[in-house]
Structure 1
Amino acid sequence: MSDVRAELREQFMDAFGGADYPVKNQMDLVPALPDGPATKFEAGDVSLTAMELAAKLGSEQEFPYDDAESLVEDILDGLEAKDMI
């Protein structure tokens, strides 16, 4: 696992781990984010807000999610598939 992926995984788990699962859509995740849609994730030369993630990865996510682990893995796989990490 790349350092960037590992750093982002930790940040995503911290941010999305507090959501009330199961989550049915991206809006269910907003209350868990410390700065709402403006919550920023940074690792290496990658910097994304939660809003940017939602816009760029909507097609990569398969809601509903029953836990943070499966959500975070789909986010990371989507970022890799789009060559963003």
Structure 2
Amino acid sequence: MKKGFEESLKELESIVKQLERGELPLDESIEMFQKGITLSKDLSKMLDDMEKRVSILIEDENGMIKEENFIGAGDDKSGL
């Protein structure tokens, strides 16, 4: 079963805390670091996927509410 965002984030935070303590043997630290990198990539992908699904409501000039797809900062096609 695939982990949810919050569960993956908590796991990544736990890994970071363990690595920051510096108490793990080198081989275990490397293994934890690799797991952390994988979780970080998975979290980034989850955020990208969520961003694509987010919609914002905007009031047009007539006072009507319309739904538009969310455009994140990295999605600007204007080249700016």
Same fold (TM over 0.5): no
Query: TM-score if structure 2 supplies the norm length?
Result: 0.27
Structure (1 or 2) with the larger CA radius of gyration: 2
Q: RCO greater where, 1 or 2, for CA within 8 Å and sep 6 or more?
A: 1
Normalised TM-score (structure 1): 0.26
